[in-house]
Amino acid sequence: MRALIIGHDHASPSGLIGERLVERGFELDTITVVPAERYHAPGVDFDFPPLRGYDLVVPLGAPWSVDDRATIGSWVGGELALLREAHALGVPVLGICFGAQALATALGGAVERAPHPEIGWMGVETDAPELVPQGPWFQTHFDRFVVPPGADELARSAVGPQAFRTGRSLGVQFHPELTEATLRRWLDLGLYDQARGLGLDPDELLDRTRELREEARRRAHALVDGFLDRVARSPAATGAEPAAATGAVPGACNPG
């Protein structure tokens, strides 16, 4: 089984999510849209691979806004098209932060500025704790998604929706993939100043991440298991069979 991991920048690996997917039998094909040297000028040309042969798509986070075409250029249009195609064909998508915002936008929802940023470890109010535990989850975003038509909102915070399900796909606003190493990269690339500007102590964010390391791993793995067993295996909303050529999902989602 093969999973397409869409990394939007060099500093945001699949982390704990990728770790659990490998444990569940997936081979990960990771692409990086914006190379390190273009991190501050992400308007690159990029061609997304065809979906054929993939059993799962995981678009990760990014430090940019889905609807900021002036900054990121045209490549996001290719990603939205890929996510629409995946949904239509019944290929499961696990969207994380920017990836969830892209999934929502692709399916008729939207992205808008949040009333205020969320940065740090925070709980969420969840209607489906067996799929999306209440956390705490690491958050770092200034935008929020508008749940697409026909989707079910599964979790929320005071800022807005935190998770939605549609067909065989799930989008989450938080960062279940986060590790301490990834957070250090994000802090070095600008999150340090953003956190300080909001009155937060970056060292405390790192300390909390270190304290929650094993708990966060268990929770991230549980999220992947719930997604694979409860969402990705469900009947497709379109009635289509999965497009992937390698078989069905085995039985029983950074700054953005």
User: How far, in Å, are 35, 100, 135, 163, 175 from residue 256 at the CA level?
Assistant: 17, 10, 19, 15, 10
Burial degree of 65 (CB within 10 A; 0-12, 13-18, 19+):
buried
Q: Which residue is catalytic, options 8, 87, 141, 175?
A: 175
How far is Cα 96 from Cα 171, in angstroms, rounded to an integer? 6
DSSP string, 140-157: EEEEEEEPPTT-EEEEE-
Task: Tell me, yes or no, if 97 is annotated catalytic.
Answer: yes
How far is Cα 194 from Cα 191, in angstroms, rounded to an integer? 5
Residue 166's identity, in one-letter code, is T
- With vertex at residue 183, the alpha carbon angle to CA 159 and CA 18, rounded to the nearest 5 degrees, is 90
Q: Which residue is catalytic, options 97, 141, 221, 253?
A: 97
For strand 27-32 and strand 2-7, is the pairing parallel, antiparallel, or unpaired? parallel
Name 157's Cβ contacts closer than 8 Å, sequence gap at least 6.
118, 122, 123, 124, 125, 139
Q: Which residue is catalytic, options 87, 141, 177, 221?
A: 177
Q: What residues are labeled active site?
A: 97, 175, 177
